[in-house]
Amino acid sequence: MDKELIASLVDLIKREEGFLYDFLDLLESQKALLVKNKVEEFEVTVRQQEELIEQIRALETERIGVVQQIARGMKIEDNKVTITRLVEMSLGQVSDELKNVKKNMTQLVDRIRRANQVNQYLIKRSLNRAQRSIDLLIDEGLRDVIYEQDGKIRGQDRRSLMINKTL
């Protein structure tokens, strides 16, 4: 097996790891922006994320090419080449690097997943708050309803707040 290809693979994975750390940093800053309701700044970070995703995709394409070359050299199918399998082939220092890269990437992906879930929750909460505000404006006339003993509404104009203000 070509150790240069393995070293190239490790380098690609480390570069991808760097981009993923940048991506995680953006997710963390987005969380703060969501909490502060800074929509314009949030949109800027979304564009930055899109740029990072393109860079990660380019590295991913390059990584797939290297994996295909390694697979050809090992005379196995591409999908059989995994970091775990390469580590098991005990490649000395390269093996240690692969172990570390695998561990770091696994932890990093988990952190990204958790940060993304938090941001999704904050976005949903924000959307729910906006929807409640809209509902409040539209249905304000129904908020302080007073019922008579016979179940009829007493002295309440049932038009919405928005309609009341515009008429």
Measured CA to CA in angstroms, residue 44 lies from 40, 85, 110, 165 at distances of 7, 40, 24, 36
Low-confidence ranges of the chain (pLDDT < 70): 1, 89-93, 135-147, 151-167
Q: Quote the pLDDT of residue 167.
A: 43
Domains of the chain: 3-125 (1.20.58)
* CB atoms inside a 10 Å sphere around CB 66: 20
d(CA 48, CA 43): 9
Residues sharing a CB contact under 8 Å with residue 145, sequence separation 6 or more, in sequence order:
153, 156
Q: Quote the pLDDT of residue 23.
A: 94
φ, ψ dihedrals at 147, nearest 5°:
-100, 140
Q: Quote the pLDDT of residue 111.
A: 95
What's the whole-model pTM score? 0.70
